[in-house]
């Protein structure tokens, strides 16, 4: 394979070197920030054997070459464009200029929450292991593993401690990431998060009980009372506080003399932001967060399988717009407040949508006689079943249209099924076949059945729609 030639053809098809603002690559895709996407010769890219698919999202134009190939293509491409050494962060930054305000807001949430996902995933999966050890009658009739084997009790307790840590100290993780994103000192953000979960404060999860009993501790300062309430497991309060902290810090650095900057700026930043957090920002955003959680629970419980089917139908179109990245913040809130919410239903919906896309792509694999499309569909279909849908959705299903429609049908039916049985996830992870380890044990069977439904219906629907599409094309050619 001549990678230099592929790089040259690709560059010519996207409008030349002058149209490239930034370039990098991930595991399978060449990721580009272009000055003008209207200059792209889509037909030329589609005709290239090495190109598995293309799509545009979040201000980036992405070309799918596949694992291994993309590294070699980028090495040659970067020489031609002078983009050697650029990272995906550079592409995101350049691509952000092409985004509308809503897309920029979604990108901001993604930038904050994506770095902390591993900690949340680890905590959630450990929580799942603890549930397996303590669940009544899951493996042994009428008993949990811990009850049947008492020597495992402390192991379960240890795992539970490890699992809770990321959620108990969530404001520290978000404080660091959010403050960094807003342009402030991330360590000051982490310190603010520590203040918000300080052990001297009333534990945030005990706030409801304290309200009922009327025993809320306060600081009484010159007759003004400030509630000593912690913010364990919260999202919105620390997001808002981190934004204020970053702006206060940046403002202070402009006016504080350089000789006193390292002393006064951190002191005043933490003090001013801390006061605002506990008097105004924290209480307001805590209420907003509770309304968000309660609203999501109400919507899920009230609309039932009908609402589930609608969400399953719309999830893939939402992914196309890139708006699904905003769900990360909502899922984090649902998981942090798992005692009330029971977990995240969004993860389950995402899984049904992803495997449905995979089922539709595999149907194309069985039907098509085009060798290039068959090769792309086989790899993309398997990838989608494992939770990575971009190659399947953008490389196959959207191009042919009818597989995408088949996937939407399968996703809607499967999501209606799992919603009817209230299946929820207790952790984030790969929203596909591996996601089974993220599901609460009460819904494991229904989760697996839901995936089978999604794959089967999308597969059959795609074949039916594909046969109809073939007949239409035959009639058009005959005419």
Catalytic residue positions, numbered: 26
Rg (CA), the chain: 25
Q: Looking up tokens 């539970």, which residue turns up? A: 160
Give the integer Cα–Cα distance in Å for 93 and 411.
Answer: 33
Q: Looking up tokens 């009460």, which residue turns up? A: 442
Tell me the CA distances in angstroms from 216 to 191, 202, 211, one per residue in order. 24, 8, 7
Give the distance from CA 81 to its chain's centroid: 32
Give the integer Cα–Cα distance in Å for 68 and 54.
Answer: 17
Give the integer Cα–Cα distance in Å for 52 and 67.
Answer: 11
Identify whether the C-beta of residue 356 lies closer than 8 Å to the C-beta of residue 319. no
Q: Looking up tokens 């609203």, which residue turns up? A: 295
Identify whether the C-beta of residue 60 lies closer than 8 Å to the C-beta of residue 31. yes
Could you write out the DSSP letters of every residue in 250-318?
A: HHHHHHS-HHHHHHHHHHHHHHHHHHHIIIIIHHHHHHHHHHHHHHHHHHHHHHHHHHHHHHHHHHHHH
297 C-beta neighbours (distance < 10 Å), count: 16
Give the integer Cα–Cα distance in Å for 467 and 479.
Answer: 19
Tell me the CA distances in angstroms from 291 to 175, 287, 288, 294, one per residue in order. 22, 6, 5, 5
Give the integer Cα–Cα distance in Å for 53 and 390.
Answer: 9
Give the integer Cα–Cα distance in Å for 68 and 95.
Answer: 25
**Could you tell me the two tokens for 386?**
């494992």
């Amino acid at each position: 394979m001549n990678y230099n030639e592929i790089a040259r053809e690709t560059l010519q098809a996207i409008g030349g070197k002058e149209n490239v603002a930034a370039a990098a690559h991930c595991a399978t895709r060449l990721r580009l920030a272009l000055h003008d996407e209207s200059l792209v010769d889509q037909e030329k890219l589609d005709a290239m054997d090495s190109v598995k698919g293309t799509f545009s999202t979040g201000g980036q134009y992405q070309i799918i070459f596949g694992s291994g190939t993309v590294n070699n293509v980028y090495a040659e491409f970067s020489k031609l464009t002078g983009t050697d050494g650029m990272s995906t962060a550079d592409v995101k930054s350049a691509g952000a200029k092409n985004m509308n305000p809503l897309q920029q807001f979604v990108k901001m949430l993604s930038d904050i929450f994506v770095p902390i996902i591993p900690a949340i995933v680890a905590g959630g999966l450990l929580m799942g292991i603890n549930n397996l050890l303590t669940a009544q009658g899951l493996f042994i009739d009428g008993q949990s593993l811990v009850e049947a084997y008492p020597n495992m009790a402390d192991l379960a307790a240890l795992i539970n401690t490890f699992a809770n840590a990321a959620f108990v100290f969530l404001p520290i993780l978000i404080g660091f990431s959010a403050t960094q994103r807003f342009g402030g000192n991330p360590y000051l953000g982490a310190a603010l998060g520590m203040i918000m979960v300080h052990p001297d404060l009333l534990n945030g999860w005990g706030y409801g009980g304290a309200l009922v009993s009327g025993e809320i501790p306060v600081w009484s300062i010159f007759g003004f009372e400030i509630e000593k309430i912690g913010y364990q497991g919260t999202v919105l309060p620390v997001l808002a506080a981190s934004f204020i902290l970053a702006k206060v810090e940046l403002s202070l650095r402009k006016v504080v003399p350089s000789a006193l900057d390292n002393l006064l700026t951190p002191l005043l930043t933490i003090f001013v932001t801390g006061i605002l957090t506990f008097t105004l920002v924290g209480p307001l955003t805590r209420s907003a967060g509770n309304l968000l959680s309660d609203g999501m629970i109400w919507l899920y419980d009230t609309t039932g399988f009908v609402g589930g089917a609608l969400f399953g139908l719309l999830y893939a179109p939402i992914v196309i717009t890139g708006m699904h990245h905003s769900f990360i913040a909502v899922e984090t809130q649902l998981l942090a407040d798992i005692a009330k919410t029971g977990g995240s239903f969004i993860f389950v919906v995402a899984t049904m949508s992803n495997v449905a896309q995979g089922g539709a792509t595999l149907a194309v694999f069985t039907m098509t006689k085009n060798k290039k499309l068959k090769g792309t569909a086989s790899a993309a279909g398997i990838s989608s079943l494992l939770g990575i849908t971009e190659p399947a959705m953008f490389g196959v299903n959207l191009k042919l249209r009818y597989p995408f429609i088949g996937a939407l049908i399968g996703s809607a039916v499967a999501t209606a099924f799992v919603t009817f049985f209230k299946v929820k996830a207790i952790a984030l992870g790969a929203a596909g076949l591996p996601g089974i380890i993220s599901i609460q044990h009460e819904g494991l069977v229904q989760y697996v059945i839901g995936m089978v439904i999604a794959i089967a219906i999308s597969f059959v629907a795609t074949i039916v729609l594909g046969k109809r599409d073939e007949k239409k094309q035959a009639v058009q050619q005959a005419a």
